[in-house]
Amino acid sequence: MDNSDKIIEGLEKAYRKLIEFKKYKKTPIIVSKDGKIVEINPHKINTLNNVYTK
C-alpha cells in the first residue's frame, strides 16, 4: 500500500465519521454546489460507497 492509498483510506474514514456524526446530531451537511450553498440530509447519504475513485 503506497502513500496515496493510505491518504484515500484516511479520507474515506473521515468522510464516514462525518456522516455518522451529522446523523447523530441531526444536522444537515452544508456544501457548495454550482456556486450555491446547499444543505444535504445525512440520512440520504450511503456511506458504503467509496468517495474517491482512482
Residues 1-53 pLDDT 10s: 799 999 999 998 998 999 999 999 999 999 999 999 999 999 988 766 655 55
Q: Can you tell me whether residue 7 is helix, strand or coil? A: helix
Residue 14, pLDDT score: 92
Residue 34 lies in a domain: yes
Residue 33 lies in a domain: yes
Tell me if 49 is assigned to some domain.
no
CB 40 within 8 A of CB 32: no
Q: Is residue 54 part of a domain?
A: no
pTM, to two decimals:
0.72
31 in any annotated domain: yes
d(CA 25, CA 2): 35
Structure letter (DSSP) for residue 28: P
Residue 50 included in any domain: no
Range of the domain at 26: 3-44
Q: Distance (Å, rounded) from C-alpha 15 to C-alpha 34?
A: 21
Q: What is the pLDDT of residue 22?
A: 94
Domain assignment present for 36: yes
